[in-house]
Amino acid sequence: MLNQKNFKFILASASPRRKELIGHLQIPFSVLTADINEESSHTAPDLFALEIATQKGESVMTNLKEAGSTFAVSADTVVSLDGKIFGKPRDVNEARAFLLELSGKEHSVFTAVTMFLRIQDKVFQQGFVEETKVTFNNISDELMERYLATKDSLDKAGAYGIQGPSLTFISRVEGDYANVVGFPLSRFVNEAQIFFEKHLEKKDMWLNYF
């Protein structure tokens, strides 16, 4: 019989920002990363992100050595403008090109989250995608170069991190701020509750299982 504290929580992401956000839940978790190509057959940004997030989680679940009840969570974030997907830039020059395209415009940030629940010999899966709108001011040449010099752009989708010096040119955020950081924590809490209740057929708060 499954009781509280039976589950292990795994974050299938190397992102320090996601690790920090998950840490706000005040429950124990471990980090396991997936080595995948991050390629998708989808061109729609929400479906693209969801497929990559799912691939990450599936890879971790496949390679999981430990037995027992497990809850694994993976995520992927993309920036999109007029249907074009902006991932992480390869270098400073590509980061500059990304930011020039986004300058003075509103774009969307999609973060897909996939949850995996292993109970005995069964694995259940569920995912969702959150969208947040972000508007940039026109980025002057000087401000652009000052931002690029911080190197903040190089490991982030769309070549910017909202929690850093890019705030010098972000004028508006419509939706979940944490989603732009890389993980829609508030929605995740609710989605995980629904997921646990569905498969455990209990109304206990899902956070109590860790």
- Say which amino acid occupies 30: S
Residues tagged active-site? 76
CB 115 within 8 Å of CB 22:
no
* Cα–Cα distance list, 146 to 28, 92, 100, 135, 154 (Å): 39, 12, 14, 19, 14
DSSP H or E segment with residue 47: helix 45-63
- The Cα–Cα gap between 69 and 116 comes to 11
DSSP H or E segment with residue 119: strand 106-119
